[in-house]
Structure 1
Amino acid sequence: MIEPRRENDLIHFFIENLQDPKPEGLWKANTRISIGSTETDAKAVIETIMILGNKLKICARLSRDHYDFEFKDSIHIVSQREMPEGKGLREGFLESIPPFSNGKRIIKALYGGSHIYYHPLRRINSYIFPGPVPITLNPYQNEYVERLLSETPLTMANSPFGCGKSMTIATAAFYAVLRSRSRQDKSQQLLVTQSNFASVNLVDITKKYREKCRVIRYISDNNWMELPEDGRSIMDLPFRMQQVFMDYVSGVTPYGNDYHIYQMAIFLKEKNAMKIEDMNPKCQNFFRINPNAKKYEFFKLVRIFFDLYDAEIVITTSDSLLSALPHLRGISTVQFDEASQIPECALIQILSMFPDACFGLVGDINQLPPYCDVLLTGYLKTFGIGNTMERAIMNNMFPQVDLRIVYRCHPVTTLILGHCFYGGKLFSGVSADERNELMVNRPDFWPNPNFPIMIVNNTAPSRMAGTSCFNEKELFIVKQLVYALTSPTYNYTFKPSDIGIISFYRAQTSFLLEEFRDLNVKCGTVDSFQGTEKEIIIVCCTNEAVNGFLGMRNRINVAMSRAKQTTIVVGNLNGLLQSIHWRTIAEMVKNQGCVKTIS
């Protein structure tokens, strides 16, 4: 590490970017790193990387377990942490799945067997999301819930942006819980996402009915300590463990196993969740005899917690599912959020884990596909990663439901994107008056109060940063836009948290993150914004040459569908007009008088 320094929970340092293969292609945002020292090693997660000459400037966020770490040595070594090895599928797994089970039927359908055909439902009930303000689902959402509860082996829901898919998934899980209670079978409902960040929406939705249903997000202790504050929740396993264990360790609720109580006490003490003097006399005496007791068996504590808490809905990621498996029981429904992004190998593995469950795949094949490393080719790419949901939809392998009503965007945005990417099949569930706050109240800023998309024409060329690129003029423009939207000098402004900034290029994303680190403005790549919504979105094209992934229809669709009110595209107008998938949008913006230039 070169010039390491610490700033609160952030660490800043440089590394050389000379040898081949160059580190710039190997060190990326969200990479988990370890920092060595003579006293103790520290864990952190990289947030930004910037190429400066022959060096990489890196900023990383420390794990909460290592907030006491300081740079005291003359030399510190930084390395990437090894990814845990997954157990994966084993030869002969298909034979071990019970014949005629849902899991086996689905796998066979995916690989040339009989399709699971669509059958009309005799009746579709009306379902209500049971939040503080009950919400009646629309007919398309009701059909998805009904099919999942009617024990169809697998139902696919085509869910465009802002269609209320998280609420639909959460409602289906809740009614599955009610069915389980009526049957007294103590089954659980499983909700699977692709990342801890992607699960935040589901957690926020299910949190609204937590008084009526026991919900937990399964996340490991180590992962939880490394999540930023906006990625954590009171529904998370480590937090709920603290809440549940306090009653037993304090003596409010009796518990017969002293060893388990001592393990709970160590856990609470190490998490600074409970002081020793607030514990029951047995625990206080334990720490008098063992003042240095710090280690606890997390796996065993999780087992104890699940026995005590009796979770009815479990939210987790496909990566964490294997570690959660020993704590689950009788899964009756499994729903995949953002199912278009799940690798085929992960789907097959989960089908083999819970062959008797009913499955729901909720996703959008017009948005991002599963991530595939460029080194994967041939059968590894086709069947290891694949594009399962698209293949299943195109070949009508399973019953499908289209969630066509969009509640997020301004109706004009929904109309444009529906025309460009969904064959004109989308309907708006909101009025223009519900989405025109900025356009109506800031005529000094917004040129047309009836059109929610603006292009700020940036003719300045981009510059290369390794294999990525950045644009200094674009950065200046974005700063001006954010200032105009948030500064109290204007008569009508927004909170920084109402704004999201999407960049197509990793290098530009790093510059944006550095620029807006002290403001609560979310900056990220297109991938990191899938599933996110903001009042106002600024889309940074960066490159004047609109080609490659900047011109990919699914990425454009994701970037342009994140805003509830307005979207501002900072890009080269001529380049956008020459791009197949940008052209329609750019022409409409131009015709509506919504092209601006910032000097």
Structure 2
Amino acid sequence: MVETSGNSELEELSSSPLDSNSVGSINGDNLDDSFDQSIDSDGTLENSLQDSFIVDEVEEELGNLNLVSDHACAYCSIDSPTSVAKCNDCKKWFCNSKIGCSSSHIVNHLVASHHKVVSLHEDSDFGDTVLECYNCGCQNIFLLGFVAAKSEAVVVILCRLPCAQTKNVNWDTDQWQPLIDNRQLLSWVAEEPSDEDKLKASRITRSQISKLEVKWRSNKDATVKDIEDLEAQEEVPTALLKYTDAYEYQRTFGPLVLHEANYDKQLRESQGLEHISVTWTLAQKNQYLASFMLSTYDSNDLKVNVGDEMILRYSGLLHPAWEGRGYILRLPGSIQQEFTLELKKGSKNPPTNLNTGFTAEFVWKGTTYDRMQDALKKFAVDKKSISGYLYYKILGHDVPEIKFDVNMPKDFTIPNFTALNQSQKKAISHVLQQPLSLIQGPPGTGKTVTSAAIVYFLSKMHKEHILVCAPSNVAVDHIASKLRDMGLKIVRLTARSREDVESSVMDLSLHNLLKRSAKGELKRYLNLKDSGVELTNKQSRAYVKLLRKLEFEIFKKADVVCCTCVCAGDRRLERKFKYVLIDESTQASEPECLIPMVKGAKQVVLVGDHQQLGPVILDRKADKAGLKQSLFERLIQLGHVPIRLEIQYRMHPHLSEFSSNTFYDGVLQNGVTIEERTISNNSFPWPISDIPMMFWANYGREEISANGTSYLNRIEAINCERVISRLFKDGVKPEQIGVVTPYEGQRAYIVQYMQMNGAMDKDMYLNVEVASVDSFQGREKDYIILSCVRANDQKSIGFLVEPRRLNVALTRAKYGLVILGNPTSLSRNSTWNDLLVHFREKGCLVEGTMDNLQLCTVQLTRAKKRSRRFQNADQNGSWQFDDGNELQEVPFFNNREVEAHSLMSFGGQALDSVFMPSSNLSSFIENQNSHPDNAVAISTSVHSYQNRDEKNHANSNDSQPRRYQKGTNTPHYDTVEVEDAENHINPLKALNSLVSNK
């Protein structure tokens, strides 16, 4: 417990610094000792130091030594005992300032290093204290918060789960608040350093901090000086719209793929964790399964898939050292929160009598990236790898259009299959006659069915093998299932590491077809391998020869081979394919799409939707350089018009309306009626009974999740459970409900909360799928609950600024949609503002309790409009003037020295925060003033209005500065608020840095 004065208020504990004047001194290791010996008991200097001249001389020499105390911040050297905290994992000290960071230095380090235990300085108000839960001893700072004791003037530190969820007569657990707020320790835990301390602090940038954290992994004693001495990182090339030749194409994408590979490797290898607990089970074929949790895991930050390899180690005292390798069988999800690893056949027996003391590590394999590089090389040097027409089209050259002269089907019907609609028939007819086709399939329009139908007719017309690919195994399995239903002979090729993974098309997989077809000697070898017997060298050579012969025969008999884009580079698939279809192609990077295309393609069909989520690129530099753009999108930019499917069969008509108008030009038609998507006798409290959707305004604050790398919102989680429980009472089954959220932290918290506090049978909640928005793409549920999570003082909404993510989230539900979010924060983004206005106009924007929902009266923040000067902003983060001159990207989450909240839009989307070095403040003001039509007003505690804005504002009752765009009477808001309390920047000079470092 932490004692407080009797007059203190709970609010003051969470917001106001303690009244302390203690300031830490800059000391060397033995400085305190030397001064102790020079001062007598009365506090006067001994004779040797009584001469003031000598004292001044000593002080000057000590100052010149520039010594740093042991508890100085490892980033900036601030060492005030009341402002620093120690990371107990690495024993480094960090302060609670945000100099150069969007987080305080201690919080930034904990997040970057995946460390979680913090202690305070012995001279702080609480002494040398390790912060931990009073009830259970949990020391994870990201789980800790405080409540007030009811009978004493003390606060009690408790963990968020489970202790803060436990009712206690002595503690007011309903008032629990986290120790970290706004990515900073509360001021009563560690004070914000004083202005004087900040002026003395060493200057450090966000980039230097990031590099320092990486350097510490290999050298724990590295300093900023070591980072400054490193050579500048090699610049990566920027992806182009057009390429001169395939060599320029390879020189551009090759380094981008390499950067992504290096970042993926570094990230994956940093995700290992020591001291984990393992649960052992023995599966079929006597293979051991190990289940464990990794607190460092965040699905948003790491590409981890079923089938990936991991290492499990034990090096404790209770058993001889052991190491086992295996493949991931299951990932954390709504049913279980653990990784499940299947140990490889032939692995040394694990210490199953032990459950603690293990270490888990991810194994990085560069196969994916190697195959991309191989495809780029093949595209450049092998003329037979792809047709000339496709070659020049990919490079972006102007090529005379080609139309194949083919015998078109008289009737686009498929035996025993659902009839196709007119837009689907139109798409198929177009594809069969073109060497390159793009099909855009908005949500619910049946693009997988259309893709399968295209493959069916190509197969019947040409009687040749067709290669069908997609970026993910789930998408490949889905289309393979459709093709099987159409009566085609399918071979499903999977990576060897996924051969034991359950799927709906296991009977089509190559390895199972081999087992069923194997005879004689080959069958004997397969049985020996399955039983764990190691073959001799002679037997292995004979086995491989027989295996490849049978593989060739199986492929030869197939009509279609289905695999992921990366798997298309497998050596088992050495044959040529003239016809290639790539489903969900907008989720693949361009080099990934190239892998199946360079296997001799002459006719290619790309199916996808560029209004939904694109490829996942981990490396920020590669992302910004253009690796995130799919080939599908670039071809559209080159003028290739996609064929769009226009009839959706998934959503209640009211649910599809906003998405159709916002993302698809209002052309989507409904293939289902309101009656078909209305459930009778449903008592769920929809605000408008015949419109099954609502935005329920929730005003809880976001918190950092247990792993430090994600967010959660407890109020939204509580209300999510209430919505689900109400649906259960209406007879909705768990399998019909899906919960989607952009954040792994919220996903995990919702699952835990429902298990602990669900009003219904706990097993029912286990069968409700809770997943990320990204993982729900291409899928559907009868009812969807979207938890938005973000709610902070800066009104930053993170992942939610991506309109394509919003589009995916809104289009998963068939019968009903509930959105939980903070309308004040979200409405600052133009797309979200449009959505909130849409819900308000429908009477579906509500607040209150589940049993007493009322129309929400909160005033929506004005959506941020894009300045005309920046109307050509691209989605990768660069701004361009109307004259085409590109501005350097302004990082808007991390690299801030001065923080501004801008009502401009960035990359076509509203900008939450823009960060800029104060050294660039003057030039942009001059630049802005030279363009009267683009004047921007600054809003601080005192507003300054420039040029005609002043006149417009003076004649207006509006509270914001107003200006009018040319040729319109529509007001245009471009307000910038500059927080200068920390940097003492004159707000009238602060605007220039919005596009600094040109």
What TM-score does the superposition give when structure 2 sets the normalisation length? 0.49
Instruction: Please list, as runs of the form range in 1=range in 2, the aligned pairs for 1:205-224 lying within 5 A after superposition.
Output: 205-209=482-486, 212-224=487-499
Aligned to 1:351: 597
In structure 2, the residue matched to 1:47 is 331
- RMSD of aligned alpha carbons: 3.7
Partners of 1:268 and 1:312 lie apart in 2 by: 29
- Preserved CA contact (<8 Å) 1:6 1:70: no
Instruction: Write out per-residue CA displacement over residues 2-50 of structure 1, whole angstroms, 9 at most, x where no aligned residue.
Output: 24131755622467x7xxxx99997676475221255661425373499
1-structure distance, mates of 2:459, 2:325: 42
Q: Deviations over 1:479-516 (max 9, x none)?
A: 22222223xxx3x4222222211111122123345567
Q: 1:348 to 1:413 in 2, by over 3 A?
A: same
Contact map agreement 1:542 1:571 (CA 8 A) in 2: yes
Choose from 374, 377, 385 the match for 2:619: 374
CA distance in 2, matches of 1:60, 1:105: 46
> Residue 481 of structure 2 aligns to a residue in which SS?
helix
Deviation at 1:223, TM superposition (A): 1.8
| Whole-angstrom CA distance in 1 between matches of 2:827 and 2:298 | 36
* Structure-1 residue corresponding to 2:694: 454
CA distance change for structure 1 residues 464 and 298 in 2, over 3 Å: closer, same or farther?
Answer: farther
Q: Which residue of 2 aligns with 1:34?
A: 311
User: Are 2:817 and 1:564 equivalent residues in the alignment?
Assistant: no
Q: Distance in 2 between matches of 1:451 and 1:88?
A: 47
Shift of the 221–97 alpha-carbon distance from structure 1 to 2, 3 Å rule, reads closer
Shift of 1:475: 1.7
1:77 aligns with 2:359: yes
- Structure 1: distance between partners of 2:810 and 2:300: 28
Partner of 2:261: none
Q: Secondary structure at the match of 2:748?
A: helix
CA pair 478-112 structure 1, distance change in 2 beyond 3 A:
same
Aligned mate of 1:155, from 433, 437, 442? 437
Tell whether 2:522 aligns with 1:260. Answer: yes
User: Using the alignment, how far apart are the partners of 1:400 and 1:14 within structure 2?
Assistant: 43
Contact 2:280 2:290 in 1 (8 A): yes
Q: Measured at CA, do residues 233 and 542 of structure 1 come closer, stay the same or move farther in structure 2, by a change above 3 Å?
A: farther
SS at match of 1:376: helix
Contact 1:107–1:348 (8 Å) recurs in 2: no
Aligned partner of 1:196 in structure 2 is 473
- Structure 2 counterpart SS, 1:564: strand
* Contact residue 156 and residue 401 of structure 1 kept, 8 A: yes
Offset from partner CA, 1:537-569 (integer Å, 9 cap, x none): 111101124633212211100111111221111
Q: Is the contact between residue 197 and residue 231 of structure 1 (CA under 8 Å) also seen in structure 2?
A: no
Structure 2 equivalent of residue 319 of structure 1 = 566
Question: Which residue pairs with 1:60 in the alignment?
Answer: 339
1:412 pairs, out of 629, 636, 654, with 654
Cα deviation for residue 306 of structure 1 reads 4.8
- Offset of residue 588 of structure 1: 2.7
Distance in 2 between residues matched to 1:585 and 1:120, nearest whole Å: 44
Counterpart Cα distance in 2 of 1:400 and 1:61: 42
TM-superposed CA distance for 1:300, in Å, is 6.1
The Cα shift of 1:70 comes to 5.4
Alpha carbons of structure 1 residues 351 and 426: separation in structure 2 relative to 1, 3 Å = same
Q: Which has the higher mean CA deviation after the structures are superposed, 508-517 or 366-375?
A: 508-517
Change (3 A) 1:216 1:433: farther
Equivalent residues in 2 for 1:74-473, closer than 5 Å: 75-85=357-367, 86-89=370-373, 93-94=378-379, 96-98=381-383, 103-115=387-399, 117=401, 125-130=410-415, 132=416, 134-150=417-433, 152-181=434-463, 187-209=464-486, 212-225=487-500, 227=501, 229=502, 233-242=506-515, 244-245=516-517, 255=519, 258-266=520-528, 301=547, 304-308=550-554, 310-323=557-570, 325-327=571-573, 329-355=575-601, 357-377=602-622, 381-382=625-626, 384-397=627-640, 400-437=642-679, 440-465=680-705, 466-473=708-715
> Is the CA contact (8 Å cut-off) linking 2:696 and 2:821 kept in structure 1?
yes
Matched with 1:184 is none
The alpha-carbon distance between structure 1 residues 264 and 462, as it changes in their structure 2 partners (threshold 3 A), is same
Is contact 1:188-1:329 (8 Å) kept?
no
Identity %: 21
Please tell me whether residue 499 in structure 1 is matched to residue 781 in structure 2.
Answer: no
Which shows bigger deviation, 24-33 or 422-431? 24-33
Mapped contact 1:502–1:525 kept (Cα < 8 A): yes
Gaps of 5+ in 1: 51-56, 182-186, 249-254, 271-286
SS state of the match for residue 372, structure 2? coil
2:781 and 2:772 mapped to 1: Cα distance?
A: 15
The structural deviation recorded for 1:338 is 1.1
C-alpha distance after superposition, 1:49-100 (max 9, x if no partner): 99xxxxxx9721223757985544574332111223324345763454437x
The answer for the alignment partner of 2:168 in structure 1 is none
Larger C-alpha radius of gyration, 1 or 2? 2
* 3-state DSSP of counterpart to 2:778: coil
Q: Which whole-Å CA distance do the structure 1 matches of 2:801 and 2:621 have between them?
A: 23
Deviations 1:267-322 (A, max 9, x none): 6667xxxxxxxxxxxxxxxx9x99xx999968964652451472211111111111
**Which residue does 1:573 correspond to in 2?**
823
Partner amino acid for 1:11?
S
Distance change in 2, residues 1:587/1:95 (3 Å) = closer
CA distance in 1, matches of 2:580, 2:545: 23
User: Unaligned regions of 5+ residues in structure 2, if any?
Assistant: 1-273, 282-288, 315-320, 756-762, 851-998
- The structure-2 alpha-carbon separation of the partners of 1:470 and 1:415, relative to structure 1 and needing over 3 Å to count, comes to same
Distance 1:137 1:558, change over 3 A: same
Taking a change above 3 Å as real, the CA distance of residues 27 and 336 of structure 1, as seen in their structure-2 partners, is closer
Deviations 1:202-225 (A, max 9, x none): 13322323xx22112211231233
User: 2:961 — aligned with what?
Assistant: none
Q: Distance in 2 between matches of 1:582 and 1:441?
A: 32
- 2:43 is matched with none
Partner of 2:866: none
Report the CA distance shift for 1:191/1:120 in structure 2 as closer, same or farther (over 3 A): closer
SS of equivalent residue, structure 2 residue 278: strand
- In the alignment, structure 1 residue 590 sits paired with structure 2 residue 834: no
Which residue does the alignment assign to 1:475?
Answer: 717
Q: In structure 2, what is the equivalent of residue 6 of structure 1?
A: 279
**Is the Cα contact below 8 Å between 1:436 and 1:449 reproduced in 2?**
no
When residues 493 and 234 of structure 1 are mapped into structure 2, their CA distance, relative to the original with a 3 A threshold, is: farther
Q: Which residue number in structure 1 is paired with residue 145 of structure 2?
A: none
Could you report, residue by residue, the CA deviation over 1:90-114 in whole angstroms, capped at 9, with x for unpaired residues?
5763454437x86432232232412
Which residue matches 1:521?
Answer: 768
Code of the residue aligned with 2:341 in structure 1: it is L
**1:596 CA displacement:** 4.9
Where 1:353 maps in the other structure, the secondary structure is: coil
Give the AA of the match of 2:494.
Answer: I
Contact 2:700-2:713 at 8 Å conserved across structures: yes
| Mapped partners of 1:529, 1:406: distance in 2 | 17
Offset, 1:154: 0.7
